[in-house]
Amino acid sequence: MGPTFLCELGLFFLCTLLCSGHAQDAVLTVEPSSTIFIGETVNFKCDMKEGEHTDWEYKIIMDGREILNSNTNKGLRLKIASTAQSGKYSCSAHRKSSQNTKNSNTVSVTVKAGKPRATLTPGSTIIPVGGSVTLTCSVESSAGWKYEWFRRDPNTEVQIRTDDQQNGVIRVSQGGIYHCRGRRGNPDYYTDKSDDVTIEITFSNKVVVKGRPSWPQIFSGETISLTCEVQEGGETTEWEYRWRGPNQTTQWTQNNYWIFNVSESSSGDYMCKSRRRDDSYSSTEWSEAFNLSASNAVLTVEPSSTIFIGETVSFKCDMKEGEHTDWEYKIIMDGRGLFNSNTNNGLRLKVASTAQSGKYSCSAHRKSSQNTKNSNTVSVTVKAGKPRATLTPGSTIIPVGGSVTLTCSVGSSADWKYEWFRRDPNTEVQIRTDNQQNRVIRVSEGGIYHCRGRRGNPDYYTDKSDDVTIEITFSNKVVVKGRPSWPQIFSGETISLTCEVQEGGETTEWEYRWRGPKQTTQWTHNNYWIFNVSESSSGDYMCKSRRRDDSYSSTEWSEAFNLSASTGKPRATLTPGSTIIPVGGSVTLTCSVGSSAGWKYEWFRRDQNTEVQIRTDDQQNRVIRVSEGGIYHCRGRRGNPDYYTDKSDDVTIEITFSNKVVVKGRPSWPQIFSGETISLTCEVQEGGETTEWEYRWRGPKQTTQWTHNNYWIFNVSESSSGDYMCKSRRRDDSYSSTEWSEAFNLSASTVPRTGNSSFPALLIVGLICGLLLILLLLLCRFIQSKDSCFASTNQTINQTINQDDARDSQHASRHQGDACLYESVKDHDDTDNVESGDVTYSLIEFKNITQKDDSLLYAEVSHKRAKAKRNKEKSASAAAEYVIYSEVKSQPALDYSLLYAEVSHNRAKVKIL
């Protein structure tokens, strides 16, 4: 074994090792998310991409070690108990039938400690008149949450919304205290509830502040009373009131006035608002400002008390004494003088640092009168960095023929004037700039908008706001149509959605955008969306369109096209009009697939030898007619590419032969008693050729299986009464048979009971004696005349019996019907062989029914004449050599204590020499 061979062998094993690695041909998905919390349950789905197979064995692997295994893809669940369960997860599946093994991709799972808390963020805490506000619920950076929303007022707390949509954003138009929480997974896992957010709704009532006294000038030390008046509607309402002054905002109170002593610091704007006493979460808007100017020195700071580095602050120190030119002014910051001036117009300071924040005041000395005044104090805050304007649209979609509002603001600072800009793909223009505080404008043209703030002297500009795209809505209507248009779609089928624009007079080139249950697409030139349906596809689908040459205009969203994806593969249902084909006829077979539509059907028939597809075409052939026996099934087919249902259950169709069958019974007595045995025979009236048949029986309580025997033998009981029928089929054809025969009616009779009595026994003894006497008379007659003996004996018996009947009748009448005694004599002859050697016999039955215990007593006497073979050489006198014998039987009948006696008088056949 040389070095070359060893090298080649090593390369072979290395190649085999590299090539035999399992491809990542399975897909592992982790639900609800790859970022989870302790206490949640993780569901793993290991998709083998091979359709439905039940012989897979699944393993879930974490960081290279197995942690779960299951014979089903639905049982791979893991409850998270520790952050140590963070790691890289994959799955492996082994298919037992093919010994195939597949490995999946790897999913990184992060487990976080502690229970997450939802966060509620309001778009605003004040609902404007007739409007609403948005509330947003979120759970850190994790995904897959559905949200539950709660609202409470002083009386109740209600869950206002919970559904299976990812409703992280809702709009509310009702005041109250709101909170939310997140929910996800199976079983449900809940976050902690968010902090409360109080939302107030704004009434349309207008409020006005009035001052008493109403003098235009108020001096320090005077008293002023401010009143808040609500302009009500038709009914009087009890209100609460809240005040906002230059230095404070009061709590809610039932008093509509605010009385205070005026001081230097009282100067400023005063406003109020009101709310109903029975509704803590609604109020009016703030009133217009009532300006109070307290005479003494007043310091004002422009442009605002909140300023930014780079701005210039102008101070105005008003002495409230008209125009005087002999004042000397000083600006003071935190108790130390900054600068002074002989004129009120030169008090300006350029802000260069946040260290210039502080409390500012002014002091003025009048040289002519040596009068000095000190002003109020103003707190000035200096912020670092340049401020950025914020543009807030009332909506980003301009309705047909309408407009939308745009609002520009700069944090909490004031006194800004705003400049507005709009651009489209070709130009950018400044659409409005003026000296008004135009923070709110209305626009009716689509495009990209931004704004910036401007204030001060010289002008100071903020950074521009972020862009906001405003789209204008065309009047064209769009419609979503689905192909196929079936109301029910199954997982695995393919659907094509088309967005159709109802255009005006000219043809326009359009772009399209789609919104589905879980995504919104980008704009595209294609007006269709084709995808394979799955369980997660259910939901509403909408589209809208815009002109290709105008990116800032579009139609409205179409009405929703609802897609309901049914889980599982449907099964066809075969319904026969009848399972028996009549002679020379046919039956209808109907194939259907639940309540869904659009199916075409394939039909199959099999017998013992073959299975054939009997019909498949492009017609909706859900109903066919067949005239051939066999086992039938069907399946549905629809769509492009073809989608097939599971096959229906089998239905066996039998064809009826014209042969007639008849049921005959042995014995054929019209009355059968319990305990007797009967044999029923099924006879087929065949045609020209002999056929081997199988038989089937139907009785009152059962229907037998097919058998080669054409008889049915059983012991009769009380429950045997009823109709019996049979039918037959050829042994070489399991799917054809005759019709059921006409019914053979079996009536099973029960033997009556008798009671225990000594009288029937004595009566039997008497009857037996009488019978023996009759037999002796018959014997004598027989000896005298062979030919006449039997006739005379019969006559004598009949006379005797008749006399006995008369006596018994009289006896019965004396008992007034309580007991009935009767007898009968039966003379049976062989009518086919009437000669002197024939057997002659008589049967006598005596029956007695007692008056109380329902006992039945009867006696039977048989007189039989045996047929003898004659010898032509012997004379007739030899008949005296016949053997005469009698037999008497007495026994109880069943459990009814029925006693009967049978006397047989037999003349045996003897050979005459």
Mean pLDDT of the 842-864 span: 41
Pick from 315-319, 623-627, 909-913 the range whose average pLDDT is largest. 623-627
Residue 812 above 70 pLDDT? Answer: no
pLDDT band at 227; cut points 50, 70, 90: very high
Selection from 771, 821, 815 nearest residue 797 by Cα: 771
pLDDT higher than 60, residue 11: no
pLDDT tens column, 596-623: 788 889 999 988 778 888 876 666 678 9
Report helix, strand or coil for 626.
Answer: strand
Number of H helices, E strands in the chain: 3, 77
Half-sphere exposure of 462 (CA within 13 A, CB side): 28
What distance, in Å, lies between the first and last C-alpha atoms of the chain? 120
Residue 612 has a pLDDT of 83
Structure tokens at 77: 């669940």
Residue/partner pairs of 96-104 with CB below 8 Å, 24 or more apart: 96/55, 96/56, 96/57, 97/53, 97/55, 101/22, 102/22, 102/23, 102/25, 102/26, 102/48, 103/22, 103/23, 103/24, 103/25, 103/26, 104/24, 104/26, 104/27, 104/28, 104/46
How many CA atoms lie within 13 Å of 438's alpha carbon, on the beta-carbon side? 14
Q: What is the 3-state secondary structure (H, E, C) of 410-440?
A: CCCCCCCEEEEEEECCCCEEEEEECCCCCCE
Mean pLDDT of all residues in 169-174: 89
The arithmetic mean of pLDDT across residues 495-503, rounded, is 90
Distance CA 314, CA 341 (A): 13
pLDDT given at position 19: 39
From 575-579, 620-624, 666-670, 830-834, the region with the lowest mean pLDDT: 830-834
Between CA 866 and CA 771 the distance in angstroms is 20
CA distance linking residue 407 with residue 750, whole number of Å:
105
* Highest-confidence segment of 23-32, 215-224, 553-562, 859-868: 553-562
Of 675, 667, 858, 666, the C-alpha closest to 750 is 675
Q: Is 50 exceeded by the pLDDT of residue 701?
A: yes
Is the confidence at residue 789, as pLDDT, over 60? no
Contact at 8 Å (CB) between 468 and 397? no
313 vs 241: CA distance, rounded Å: 36
The pLDDT value recorded for residue 903 is: 42
Q: What's the pLDDT score for residue 226?
A: 93
Residue 129, pLDDT score: 84
pLDDT band at 710 (very low <50, low <70, confident <90, very high): very high
Q: Are 607 and 632 in contact (CB under 8 A)?
A: no
Report CA Rg, the chain: 57
Per-residue model confidence (pLDDT) at position 815: 38
pLDDT of residue 650: 94
What is the mean pLDDT of the segment spanning 566-581? Answer: 90
Q: What token pair was written down for 194?
A: 């968010």
* pLDDT tens-digit series, residues 483-494: 887 777 888 889
Mean pLDDT of the chain: 78
Q: Residue 364: CA atoms inside 13 Å, Cβ hemisphere, count?
A: 26
pLDDT at position 852 is 39
Across the strands, what pairs with 69? Answer: 59
Taking each helix axis as running N to C, give the angle between helix 758-784 and helix 786-814, from 0 to 180 degrees, rounded to the nearest 10: 150
Average pLDDT over residues 895-903: 39
β-strand pairing of 489-490 with 565-566: parallel
The pLDDT of residue 581 is above 70: yes
Give the tokens for residue 222: 């005077």
Mean pLDDT calculated for residue range 794-800: 41
pLDDT computed for residue 293 by the predictor: 72
The Cα–Cα gap between 320 and 295 comes to 6
- At residue 217, the pLDDT reads 61
**What's the distance, CA 303 to chain centroid?**
64
Report the distance separating Cα 191 and Cα 118, nearest Å: 6
Lowest mean pLDDT among 286-295, 415-424, 450-459, 749-758: 749-758
Residue 118 has pLDDT above 80, yes or no: yes
pLDDT over 90 (residue 871): no
Q: In angstroms, rounded to a whole number, what is the distance separating the alpha carbons of residues 888 and 239?
A: 123
Structure tokens at 83: 């952050």
190: buried, middle or exposed (CB in 10 Å: 19+, 13-18, 0-12)?
A: middle
* Cα–Cα distance measured from residue 70 to residue 323, given in angstroms and rounded to the nearest whole number: 95
Assign 784 a pLDDT band (cuts: 50, 70, 90).
Answer: low
What digits encode the pLDDT tens for the residues 415-430?
A: 889 999 998 877 888 8
For the stretch 436-473, pLDDT in tens is: 668 899 998 889 999 999 988 888 999 999 999 998 88
Q: Tally the C-alpha atoms within 13 A of residue 637's C-alpha that lie toward its C-beta.
A: 15
**Structure tokens, 846:** 């005596």
Q: Confidence class of residue 505 from pLDDT cuts 50, 70 and 90? A: low
Average pLDDT of the segment spanning 660-686: 90
What's the token pair of residue 620?
């909706």
What are the tokens at 500?
A: 């159709």
Weakest mean pLDDT among 31-45, 86-100, 762-776, 862-876: 862-876
pLDDT of the residue at 337: 87
SS3 466: coil
In terms of residues, how long is the chain?
A: 913
**Dihedrals phi, psi of 345, to nearest 5 degrees:** -90, -5
Burial 217-248 (b: 16+ CB within 10 A, else e): ebeeeeebebbbebeeeeeeeebbbbbbbeee
pLDDT surpassing 70 at residue 192: yes
Sign of CA dihedral 517, 520, 526, 530: negative
- Percent of the chain at pLDDT exceeding 70: 76
Q: Please tell me which residue, 505 or 641, carries the higher pLDDT value.
A: 641
- Give me the mean pLDDT over the 292-313 stretch: 84
- Rounded to 5 degrees, φ, ψ at 202 are -95, 125
Would you call 127 helix, strand, or coil by DSSP? strand
Q: What is the mean pLDDT of residues 708-720?
A: 92
| Amino acid (1-letter code) at residue 3 | P
> For the residues 507-531, what does the mean pLDDT come to?
90
Measured between alpha carbons, how far is 712 from 748 in angstroms, rounded to an integer?
A: 16
Strands (E), 113-238: 119-122, 126-127, 133-138, 146-152, 157-162, 169-172, 176-184, 189-190, 197-202, 206-212, 218-219, 223-231
DSSP track, 79-116: E---GGG-EEEEEEEEETTTTEEEEB--EEEEEESS--
pLDDT (tens digit per residue) in 47-61: 888 776 678 888 899
In terms of average pLDDT, the best of 286-295, 605-614, 706-715 is 706-715
Q: Which of 319-323, 488-492, 631-635 bottoms out in mean pLDDT, i.e. has the lowest?
A: 319-323
